[in-house]
Structure 1
Amino acid sequence: MTAIGSTVTIDVSVDQEKNCQGSIGAGETRADVRHTDATLYLRGDEQYWRTALKQQPGAAEETAAKLRDKWVKMPANDATTAGVCDKQGFVAAMDEDESERQGMKRGSTTEVNGEEALKLTKETSGGEKLSLYVATEGEPYILKTTTEGGKNPGGVTFSDYGETVNPQQPPADETVDMKELAGEQQT
């Protein structure tokens, strides 16, 4: 995936209830992510938080130092991280106009991470080429998606379907609540 001139990498394990754990990276920065009990937590170094908070001039430096290496409890509606642990939403966002899936052309059989997959392709109305790689054995899971051309070229690989995801809530003494921190800065 490409976002604002830099490559974004997301490596998370997700279940049907949106519980997840893994990491998010952008360029040289990286943060650990957990979503459990309907709460999202991120933990990054000071550089990660400086980059993430650059839209808040002045407060970014001070806030980044407070958040360094802490688990940050994020608001449930935070737009920048809301979809990280929502596999269904993530897949749907790649194909917001569901009609794009209609008329996909069947391609050749190929291999994705050691699994046989059927490649389905379609040119979208926006000039992008959408490719879905679907498992040919067992459940027809999506193993990989790619988008070429257009504004957001990139790809996502899915694996380990059916694996248990059991993220633990971080300890209270290692957690900072973003809503509480925002309240401190307004007073």
Structure 2
Amino acid sequence: MKLIKFFKPYIFVLFFTFVFSYMLISFETVYADNTETKVSTYLPTSVPQPAAHMDYGINIIVKPDLISSNPNILKGFVVSCNGSSTTNESGRCDFRVYPGSSYNVSISKGNYLRRTIVAYPAAVPGSTYVVDIWPGDVNQDNIINMVDLIEISKSFDCLKGDSMYDINYDFNMDDVINMADVLIVAKHFNSTPESYIN
């Protein structure tokens, strides 16, 4: 009995050491290529570990292939990359992503030919991609063709405020659907998403 009383504090210390050591091993989720794996890492509790994705970025700047004096021409493009967002007034959209892999970035807007690029993240502020995108696919069938021109012709010569005016056909956003808009479509006539040079 004296022997048990003698070792009791040591058994408590040994048990506490075991539990404390187990707490120092944390399990974190690491994402790569949209897969999830469990990684066991020895992390001292006094040293905070930053999230890996906070230090890498992909920045997209959309550049429509047309001339316009309207400052809103760059707003509203939907950009999808590890989430979805829209471009601001300068045509920019930034994403914070996980390092170590490439990302498919999709860019679209109601009257533009959808585009997808492969982007590689870099340390913050991130890698920046200036992406040309072509107007003219008004029916969103992934080709700029005669069907789109026929749709535009229904609103030809209409001014903003007219009942037939459709902002989706006014590519340069000058408040009138005219020959300037038709020529914008003609520039990339018969183009598909595969026509973009990546």
Q: TM-score range by the shorter chain?
A: under 0.3
Q: Which has the higher strand share?
A: 1
TM-score with structure 2 length normalisation?
0.26
TM-score normalised by L of structure 1: 0.27
Q: Which structure: greater helix fraction?
A: 2
Bigger Rg, structure 1 or 2: 2
